[in-house]
């Protein structure tokens, strides 16, 4: 009977050991499963934050794009209206246009009478009433700016091809903008350049006059990245020649006529801040609210995972305690030494 009892205790201990090891394996497997599940869910939530930020950045860019096109349309109208007023004033002040032609051909310096016509039509006229040079009107011919309201200079004439502050920062983009204006490229195309350095020290200089390039600047730098660009909306006196009827082209190419170009300048960062104040901030707040909700979900899942991990650790210690308390020395009688069985 004693041997039977010892054998029973021995096999019970072995069974308990097997069960304990199995429980340890199950707890370990469950812990690993929870770990991978937790990481997978957290990765998905992080990806949702990235996608949410990208979505709202794209929404803001579409708002900027729409505002930019509206501003360009309005700038075209402003340049056209100003051109018509200048033509009307010229016809009033110069009944004989040959007098004006003679003045223009005798000297690059504008006569006070003609300068007054130009200045009176462009001074204190700003797109969206944004009172700064970036949103003002200028007048140029094919060679130089002949009238502007630049506070940094008292000189009306500034050569567009020689040394000029406007092309010091991004000369390639400046050249493309001037070429597009002088050669009257596609009127539906946005024309812009970058006259001054951006306040962002990590600002990337672009060399292509493309909307996609501006989009990349905005995606990487925000509205601050666009603040150094000035857009130009030209209108020509006249479209195919000059005010004296001389065409732009003849059989030898460009003619040396007196074509005037009225240009409305504008800055999209100024317009967004003046015309749509707080719009981008409100979009950011909506984005941030969604991000916070996702982050709260991440926090809840992290707490849940830590609680589950704590339960698993507690169960692990329970099993170890169970094994240590039940795994005693229970040998089968047939395995004991002969001398012990004799006793």
Q: How far is CA 117 from the centre of its chain?
A: 41
Is 313 contained in some domain?
yes
Highest averaged pLDDT of the listed ranges 136-140, 144-148, 255-259: 136-140
Residues 104 and 191 placed together within one structural domain of the fold = yes
Per the document, the length of the chain is: 343
> 20, 325 in Cβ contact below 8 A?
no
- Answer with the residue of higher pLDDT: 130 or 302: 130
Domain boundary among 272, 287, 302: 287
Task: Using the 3D structure, point to which of 243, 258, 287 is the last residue of a domain.
Answer: 287
CB 231 within 8 A of CB 266: yes
Is there a single domain that holds both residue 175 and residue 103? yes
Q: Indicate whether 70 belongs to any domain.
A: no
Which has more pLDDT, 50 or 184? 50
125 and 211 part of one domain? yes
* pLDDT for the residue 58: 93
pLDDT at 3 over 90: no
Residue 263 Ramachandran class (φ > 0 left, ψ -120 to 50 alpha, else beta): beta
In a domain, 329, yes or no: yes
3-state secondary structure of 226: helix
**Residues with Cβ within 8 Å of residue 178, at least 6 apart in sequence:** 160, 161, 193
Q: Is residue 183 part of a domain?
A: yes
Residues 283 and 296 in one domain: no
In a domain, 69, yes or no: no
253 and 170 both lie in a single domain: yes
One domain for residues 121 and 217: yes
299 and 200, same structural domain? no
* Strand 191-193 with 253-254, pairing: unpaired
Enter the pTM of the model: 0.77
The answer to whether residue 88 sits within a structural domain is yes
Segments forming the whole domain that contains residue 19: 10-49+288-342
Last residue of a domain, one of 262, 287, 312: 287
Domain count, the chain: 2
- Same domain for 332 and 264, yes or no, is no
Same-domain check for residues 105 and 192: yes
Q: Say whether both 82 and 138 belong to one domain.
A: yes
E strand intervals along 238-343:
249-250, 253-254, 260-266
302 domain residue, yes or no: yes
Q: How confident is the model at residue 159 (pLDDT cuts 50, 70, 90)?
A: low
157 in Cβ contact with 145 (< 8 Å)? yes
- Binned at pLDDT 50, 70 and 90, residue 108 comes out as confident
268 and 299, same domain (yes or no): no
Contact 145, 138 (CB under 8 A): yes
CA distance 293 to 305: 18
Is 2 a member of any domain? no
Instruction: Kindly give the pairing relationship between strand 191-193 and strand 158-159.
Output: unpaired
Rounded-to-integer distance, Cα 240 and Cα 205, Å: 34
Same domain, 97 and 236: yes
């Amino acid at each position: 009977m004693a041997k039977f009892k010892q054998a029973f205790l021995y096999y019970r201990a072995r069974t308990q050991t097997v069960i304990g090891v199995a429980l340890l394996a199950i707890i370990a497997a469950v812990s690993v499963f929870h770990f991978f599940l937790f990481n997978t869910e957290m990765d998905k939530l992080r990806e949702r934050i990235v996608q949410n930020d990208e979505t709202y950045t794209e929404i803001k860019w579409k708002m900027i794009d729409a505002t930019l096109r509206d501003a360009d349309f309005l700038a075209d109208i402003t340049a056209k209206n100003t051109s018509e007023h200048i033509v009307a004033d010229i016809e009033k002040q110069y009944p004989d246009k040959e007098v004006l032609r003679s003045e223009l051909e005798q000297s690059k310096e504008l006569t006070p009478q003609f300068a007054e016509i130009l200045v009176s039509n462009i001074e204190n006229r700003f797109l969206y009433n944004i009172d700064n040079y970036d949103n003002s009107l200028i007048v140029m011919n094919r060679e130089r700016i002949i009238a502007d309201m630049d506070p940094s200079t008292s000189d009306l004439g500034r050569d567009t091809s020689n040394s000029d502050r406007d092309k010091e920062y991004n000369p390639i983009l400046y050249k493309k903008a001037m070429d597009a204006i002088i050669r009257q490229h596609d009127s539906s195309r946005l024309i812009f350049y970058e006259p001054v350095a951006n306040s962002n020290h990590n600002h990337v200089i672009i060399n292509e006059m493309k909307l996609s390039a501006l989009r990349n600047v905005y995606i990487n730098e925000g509205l601050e990245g666009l603040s150094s660009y000035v857009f130009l909306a030209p209108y020509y006196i006249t479209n195919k020649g000059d005010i004296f009827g001389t065409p732009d082209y003849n059989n030898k190419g460009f003619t040396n006529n007196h074509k005037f170009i009225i240009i409305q300048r504008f800055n999209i960062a100024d317009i967004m801040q003046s015309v749509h104040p707080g719009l981008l901030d409100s979009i950011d707040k909506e984005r941030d609210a969604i991000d916070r909700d996702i982050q709260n979900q991440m926090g809840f899942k992290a707490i849940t995972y830590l609680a589950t991990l704590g339960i698993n650790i507690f169960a692990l210690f329970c099993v170890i305690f169970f094994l240590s308390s039940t795994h005693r020395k229970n040998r089968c009688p047939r395995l004991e030494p002969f001398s012990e069985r004799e006793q």
